[in-house]
């Protein structure tokens, strides 16, 4: 499916309607797309990014439909294979083509794709390539998603080709985003799963791209934006360092004791005016949990004891929060055990990257009794007070 952005720019990438999992971890309930953009100058033609190799036929079909006989430049914004993986096949189809990218990306692509060094032209930040009436400028936007990732700016049409940055895993027939509630949800999911660990870099990268006048943001996943401020403002909201007055309770429960504690704590928090999200770590969608982590001020991991340690799914939940490095300021551990073990220590060890204050754990024997519920009341009060002291509750 070809999507026209302007008279000279078309999305000739592939739509992956049926993809349900990315990187073998990230659920993609709306599928995804690998956008590749062809830019026609008067003298030269450039292709910006490619597609997953198993979607090469779709890219080829789109190029044939547009009667593309020659590609002079393949601009590679990012070496991850969902965008770079078809470069070797395209170089066979268009042997005159040169791959334009930065030094770091060249190295990755020589390693990952075995592209010979002589096929590359290495550019530096701010360099331009002229196509005849169309000029591409390169803006280095590291860590959205990898350290080599860059964006390409088409000066005359004011289009920013941002690769993963501002993308979303959405398969859609629309060229430009519409139905904004859905767009917001999927872009946030993508931010949470892919971008959140690099929050500090995102702020710098937004400043860089905002220095340009932009009419269209064209990412390499999901729809393009003909109102760029929409997605830029959403990113600014997500990277804001102040979390919301909200607690994520991510739990596993085998025989209901831990679940009862989770529900009791949640009720106690809500009564104090603290919002709560409860997610089941065994059956929940990892992407939804990641999205909660974008906003919450406090993370509670709730686990039963299994084989003298925490439940493996609870360990996974803690590990996930640890690698996504959300802005949360507080964390706690609750749960129930039968005859002892090291569940609390295991969860603690898996939260070590988080810049959080660890609250006093509430780990109880068996099914909660009144004295245990009183400890959960205390925990709820502590969370409320901490949110207040941190200025999260105004
Ligand atoms: Fe869409 Fe980092 O690749």
186 CB near ligand 1 (under 6 Å): no
Give the domains, in start order, of the chain with CATH numbers. Answer: 3-239 (3.60.15.10), 247-385 (3.40.50.360)
* Distance (Å, whole) CA 48 – CA 63: 13
Beta bridge partners of 346: none
Tally DSSP H helices, then E strands, for the chain: 12, 23
Residue-wise pLDDT tens digits, 211-255: 999 999 999 999 999 999 999 999 999 999 999 999 999 999 999
pLDDT at 232: 98
Chain segment 78-106, per-residue pLDDT in tens: 999 999 999 999 999 999 999 999 999 99
- What pLDDT shows up at residue 293? 98
Give 2-61 pLDDT, tens digit per residue: 999 999 999 999 999 999 998 888 899 999 999 999 999 999 999 999 999 999 999 999
Indicate which atom in ligand 1 lies nearest the CA of residue 194: 2
Task: State if residue 145 touches ligand 1 by the CB under 6 angstroms criterion.
Answer: yes
- Cα-to-centroid distance, 13 and ligand 1 (Å): 14
* Predicted model pTM: 0.95
> What per-residue confidence (pLDDT) applies to 394?
81
Q: pLDDT at position 26, please?
A: 87
Pick the residue whose CA is nearest to atom 1 on ligand 1.
164
b or e along 166-203 (b: 16 or more beta carbons within 10 Å of the residue's beta carbon)? Answer: bbbbbbbeebbbeeeeebbbbbbbbbbbbbbbbbebbe
Q: Specify the higher pLDDT residue, 221 or 394.
A: 221
pLDDT at 244: 98
CA 127 to ligand 1 centroid distance, Å: 23
Q: How confident is the model over 310-336, as pLDDT tens digits?
A: 999 999 999 999 999 999 999 999 999
- Which whole number is the average pLDDT over 69-83? 98
CA proximity to 107, closest of 117, 97, 98: 117
From the CA of 146, give the closest atom in ligand 1. 2
Cβ(16) to ligand 1 under 6 A? no
83 lines ligand 1 (CB under 6 A): yes
Minimum CA distance residue for ligand 1 atom 3: 80
Confidence of residue 127 (pLDDT cuts 50, 70, 90): very high
How close is the Cα of 80 to the center of ligand 1, in Å?
5
Longest dimension (CA), the chain: 79
Question: Ligand 1 pocket, 169 CB below 6 A?
Answer: no
DSSP codes joined into one string, 301-357: EEEEEETTEE-HHHHHHHHHHHHH--S--EEEEEEEESS---HHHHHHHTTTTS--E
**pLDDT computed for residue 170 by the predictor:** 95
Q: How many Å lie between the centroid of ligand 1 and the Cα of residue 194?
A: 8
pLDDT of residue 45: 98
Ligand 1 in reach of 164 Cβ (< 6 A):
yes
Ligand 1: which atom is nearest the Cα of residue 221? 1
The token duo for 166 is 């501002």
Cα separation, 215 vs 229, in Å, equals: 9
Q: Return the structure tokens found at 157.
A: 């049409």
Task: Please give the distance of CA 210 from its chain centroid, rounded to a whole number.
Answer: 20
Lowest mean pLDDT among 88-97, 176-185, 373-382: 176-185
Report d(CA 344, CA 333) in Å as an integer. 7
Burial (Cβ within 10 Å: 0-12, 13-18, ≥19) of residue 104: middle
Q: Does the beta carbon of 80 lie inside 6 Å of ligand 1?
A: yes
Distance 82 CA to ligand 1 centre (A): 6
Looking at residue 53, its pLDDT comes to 97
Cα separation, 22 vs 32, in Å, equals 9
Atom of ligand 1 nearest to the CA of 34: 1
- CA pair distance 285, 298, nearest whole angstrom: 19
Atom number in ligand 1 closest to CA 149: 2
Is the beta carbon of 221 within 6 A of some atom in ligand 1? yes
């Amino acid at each position: 499916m070809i999507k026209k952005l302007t008279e000279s720019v078309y999305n000739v990438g592939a739509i992956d309607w049926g993809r349900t999992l990315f990187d073998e971890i990230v659920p993609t309930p709306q599928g995804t797309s690998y956008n590749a953009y062809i830019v026609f100058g008067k003298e030269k033609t450039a292709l910006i990014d490619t597609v997953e190799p198993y979607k090469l036929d779709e890219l080829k079909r789109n190029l044939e439909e547009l009667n593309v006989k020659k590609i002079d430049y393949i601009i590679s914004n990012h070496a991850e294979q969902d965008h770079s993986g078809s470069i070797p096949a395209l170089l066979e189809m268009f042997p005159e083509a040169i791959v334009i990218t930065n030094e770091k990306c060249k190295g990755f692509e020589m390693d990952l794709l075995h592209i010979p060094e002589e096929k590359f032209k290495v550019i530096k930040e701010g360099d331009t390539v002229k196509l005849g009436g169309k000029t591409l400028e390169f803006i280095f936007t590291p860590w959205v998603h990898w350290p080599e990732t860059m964006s390409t700016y088409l000066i005359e049409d004011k289009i920013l080709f941002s690769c993963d940055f501002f993308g979303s895993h959405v398969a859609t027939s629309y060229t430009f985003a519409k139905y904004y509630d859905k767009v917001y949800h999927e872009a946030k999911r993508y931010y949470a799963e892919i971008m959140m660990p690099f929050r500090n870099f995102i702020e710098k990268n937004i400043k860089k791209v905002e220095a340009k006048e932009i009419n269209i943001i064209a990412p390499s996943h999901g729809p393009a934006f003909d109102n760029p401020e929409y997605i830029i403002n959403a990113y600014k909201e997500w990277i804001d360092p102040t979390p919301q007055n909200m607690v994520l309770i991510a739990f596993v429960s085998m025989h209901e004791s831990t679940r009862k504690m989770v529900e009791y704590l949640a009720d106690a928090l809500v009564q104090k005016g603290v919002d709560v999200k409860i997610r089941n770590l065994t059956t929940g969608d990892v992407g939804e949990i990641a999205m909660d982590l974008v906003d919450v001020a406090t993370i509670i991991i709730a686990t039963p004891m299994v084989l003298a340690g925490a439940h493996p799914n609870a360990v996974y939940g803690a590990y996930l929060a640890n690698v996504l490095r959300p802005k949360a300021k507080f964390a706690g551990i609750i749960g129930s055990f039968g005859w002892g073990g090291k569940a609390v220590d295991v969860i603690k060890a898996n939260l070590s990257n988080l810049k959080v204050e660890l609250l006093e754990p509430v780990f109880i024997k068996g099914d909660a009794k009144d004295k245990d519920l009183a400890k959960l009341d205390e925990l709820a009060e502590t969370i409320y007070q901490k949110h207040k002291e941190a200025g999260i509750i105004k």
